[in-house]
Amino acid sequence: MICSICGGSGYQGVVVTQPVFHIKIMRSQPCLCLTSKLVSEECPSLLGDCHEEYMPLERIDKQLVFDPTNLLENQNYMVRGNDWLFRQNVKSIMMRHRFDDPVTSILFCSSISVLRDFYVEQKDGSSASLADTNKFHLMVICLDTMEKNDQLKTCIAEVVYIRMRSRRPTWLYLPTFRKVLSDCTYEYSEELMNCVKASYQIIEIVGDGNKSSKRSASQDSAAGFVTK
């Protein structure tokens, strides 16, 4: 389908005000269709083959606040709700920051890929390191693993704790088939639960960001969100 904004060129003209002489000039910038394609290619696990699909940036759920220029003020979120809708929100957030200067680094991944890609054994025989996860301004981890791995519980708890101490936001997503954190059999641990209770806000994606609800993990755990 040819983009109605750029006509398929991938770029669109925008009017900006020149800061010195305060005159309006026309500049070319990447169109949303090109940005969507780039994000889909860079993160194929996000929406699969749906390269052209994206949520308008103004419709990003207002609860999902991310500001790479002020990481210390960002929140950690535990999110539940419609899987496709959440992924669309994450993709649009990645699109919003795709051309940031300096670069904003966002990783969307499954919990098992964190173990496989970042839990690195050290040459000197010391404990495996997850330090490389701190290079991302934002990590979005789907707790969707159906594969048993004895190291996974420790890995996920450690990466959440490391990033929490470094004040770098980490979002945890519960798929629709997992209602509470303890349903995440292969990721759940007491250490992870303590991190969530200490510093996470609970978010539910219900379709309209203006109607969604936000509450602290300590408030919601009594209702059985963190454990049954």
Rounded CA-CA distance 111/121 in Å is 18
Selected from 3.40.50.2300, 3.40.50.1820, 3.40.50.300, 3.40.120.10, the CATH number assigned to the domain covering 48-221 reads 3.40.50.300
Please enumerate in sequence order all residues whose Cβ is within 8 A of that of 221, keeping only pairs 6 or more positions apart, or say none: 197, 227
Query: How far, CA to CA in Å, does 120 sit from each of 31, 162, 169?
Result: 38, 15, 22
Q: Say what the pLDDT of residue 198 is.
A: 94
Write the pLDDT tens digit of every residue in 103-154: 999 999 999 999 998 887 756 655 567 888 999 999 999 999 998 898 999 9
